[in-house]
Each structure stands twice: as structure tokens, then as C-alpha cells.
Amino acid sequence: MVLVAGSANLDFVVRAPHIPAPGETVLGGAFQTFAGGKGANQALACARAGGMATHMLLALGEDAFAAPIEASLRGAGVTLHTVRPHGAATGTAFICVDDHGENAITVAPGANACLQAAHLPPLQGFSHLLMQLEIPLPTVTAYARAAQTAGLRVVLNAAPAQALGPELLAAVDLLVVNEGELRALAGNQGSVADCLTRLPCPAVVVTLGARGCVARQGDGFYAQTSFHVQVVDTTGAGDTFCGSLVAALARQHTMGHALRQASAAAALACTQMGAQSSVPHAADVLAFLSQPSHVDEAQALLALRQFAGLP
């Protein structure tokens, strides 16, 4: 089983021709609300796209915003360990999605900021702990150290980007970042491969958007190109990647296989609106992977390896 500890938000999403610049007002289009939050998105992806038994530790307010989040997670089969801090509102996110599927997000953490070390449930029966950085950093560190002591594999998606102390990094088995987060943590020196090598974690995965993703595991490197789809909304694609990746690793698949599964799930998530609402089912991911490719994968892989500076 996988335990996800992290954030849960209600997303308020509006479509607009472009994302407003500072001081600019843009007349938007359709408005919808979706269950979201990086932690909840990843838990749902682990269960739905990865087909893995998944539990989630989360904090919610005693308000109407909590209900759709709980319904979405339970509908995917996620077992909830819910903390309800007195007087705290459910977290919210305000998202603008432009005509190219790109987004800008502002998060109001609410109850997410109230998760504490004492809230961690018993860890017996779990193989992996997956976390992000939308809950307090001291809490993330405490959870990672407790999971490491209990023999779990600790996976951290270091997003949103912030400085990470050596105590936390020493307890992380797998670090998942995007290129900006990777360079910030590694001092922004050298190629992607150089940055991967510079980080102290046993394994690091970096997502590179439309190029694909690259991983270092020990002294070995892996590269996986992206899958080409018609992009509608990129919200939640990175979270879908993380949840699917951990599910595959929890099933003891190789890193290469896990990267391919996660990349396919993330690509499919870009073809639908919303975060949790866009996460594909495991059967859809398998069907997608069975389709013939319409691009030169060997050429794309070579370009990715050259871009990343892989040996």
C-alpha cells in the first residue's frame, strides 16, 4: 500500500484567452470547480491510474468545500485519514487556464497548513510514503524521518519549490522535481545530468515538460520521451505523473517501466479539464500504451538525452 500525506484543495478554474499580466484584467470564459491539491491529486492518481491501494492523510475544514474533495477521493477508492483543525477553512486554489492549456495558480492553504507531526497514522502495511510541499516543511521532515525509521520508501515531490534542509534530503529515497526545481536545488550549474548527480538522494526524477523526463538511480540514468496528445489543460499532469510513478514502483516495476507508465498517464491527463477529474483509469493508460506511435521515438529519445547531457 501507498500512503500519501499532503494537501487537498477545492480548485476554482476559469478559462481565458491568456493568463493576465500584472495589473491586467482579462475577460474569461467557462468557470468550474474541481477537487484538487497536489497531495489529493497524487493520491487519486496512485489509486486510479496506478491501480494501487492508497491511503491519504489530509486536513480539511468543516465547510462545504470539503465535501467534493472527500467524494472525489473516496470515489477513486482512496482511504482517508482526515484531520479537521478547529476554525480552519478547506484549502482553495484559483487557477487561470489559457487557450494553450497552460495555467497560473494561486493557492490559499487553509487547513493544509495545520497538518502536524502528531497526525501521521501508523505506518504498518505501507511500502511507500509520497509527499509534496503544500504542507508545512517541518511536518514533511517529521513524516519523512518517521517513514524512514519504519522502513518505508520515502518519495518527495519538491513542489512548490523551496529550499530543503539536509535532514529532509537525507530521509528521501526518491526526489521528483521539474527542471526549475532541480536547478534551484542543485545550484543551477551544468547540464540536467550534472544537476541530477549533484543531489544527495539515492534516486531523482526530473520532468522536462514536452521533452519527457529523465531519472538518475544510483549511478545509472534513464530517459523517457513524452507522448504527443491534444492538450486541453495541463493542470494536475505533474501530479498524475507522481502518483502513477509511485504506484508502479510500489508494484516493484523497474524505474524505466515506471517512467513510461507515469508519462503516459500524465499525457492523458492533459486531454481533459481539471486536476482529479482528468486523471485516467489504469485500463485507459494500458490501452494508450498499446497504440502504435506516430513519432520517431528513437530520434526523440536521442534529442532528449542530448538536451539532458546524459552520458
Residue found by looking up cell 477508492 in the block = 77
How confident is the model over 37-46, as pLDDT tens digits?
Answer: 999 999 999 9
Residues contacting 252, CB < 8 A, separation 6+: none
CATH number of the domain within which 50 lies: 3.40.1190.20
Q: For the chain, how many structural domains are there in total?
A: 1
Asked whether residue 83 is assigned to any structural domain, the reply reads no
Are the C-beta atoms of residues 26 and 56 closer than 8 Å to each other?
Answer: no
User: What proportion of the chain, given as a percentage, has pLDDT over 70?
Assistant: 100
Q: Would you state the pLDDT for residue 298?
A: 83
Q: Would you state the pLDDT for residue 67?
A: 96
Q: Are strands 174-178 and 153-157 parallel, antiparallel or unpaired?
A: parallel
How confident is the model over 58-85, as pLDDT tens digits?
Answer: 999 999 999 999 999 999 999 999 999 9
Which listed residue (11, 173, 233, 239) is catalytic? 239
Are the C-beta atoms of residues 284 and 268 closer than 8 Å to each other?
Answer: yes
Asked whether residue 230 is assigned to any structural domain, the reply reads yes
Give which of 275, 2, 5 is closest to 136, Cα–Cα: 5
Asked whether residue 277 is assigned to any structural domain, the reply reads yes
Asked whether residue 104 is assigned to any structural domain, the reply reads no
Q: Would you state the pLDDT for residue 258?
A: 97
Buried b (16+ CB within 10 A) or exposed e, 3-14: bbbbbbbbbbbe
Are the C-beta atoms of residues 263 and 241 closer than 8 Å to each other?
Answer: yes
Asked whether residue 182 is assigned to any structural domain, the reply reads yes
Asked whether residue 102 is assigned to any structural domain, the reply reads no
C-alpha R_g of the chain: 18
Backbone angles phi, psi at 237, to 5 degrees: -65, -45
CA distance 232 to 221: 31
Domain of 48 in residue numbering reads as 38-56+115-308
pTM: 0.92
CA distance 207 to 260: 12
Q: DSSP state, 172?
A: -
Active site residue 239: yes
How confident is the model over 147-200, as pLDDT tens digits?
Answer: 999 999 999 999 998 999 999 999 999 999 999 999 999 887 789 999 999 999
Asked whether residue 187 is assigned to any structural domain, the reply reads yes
Give which of 240, 252, 231 is closest to 207, Cα–Cα: 240
CA distance 43 to 15: 26
Buried b (16+ CB within 10 A) or exposed e, 172-200: bbbbbbbbebbbbbbeeeeebbebbeebe
How confident is the model over 79-130, as pLDDT tens digits?
Answer: 999 999 999 999 998 989 888 878 888 989 999 999 999 999 999 999 999 9
Asked whether residue 192 is assigned to any structural domain, the reply reads yes
How confident is the model over 187-238, as pLDDT tens digits?
Answer: 877 899 999 999 999 999 999 998 999 999 999 999 999 998 888 888 789 9
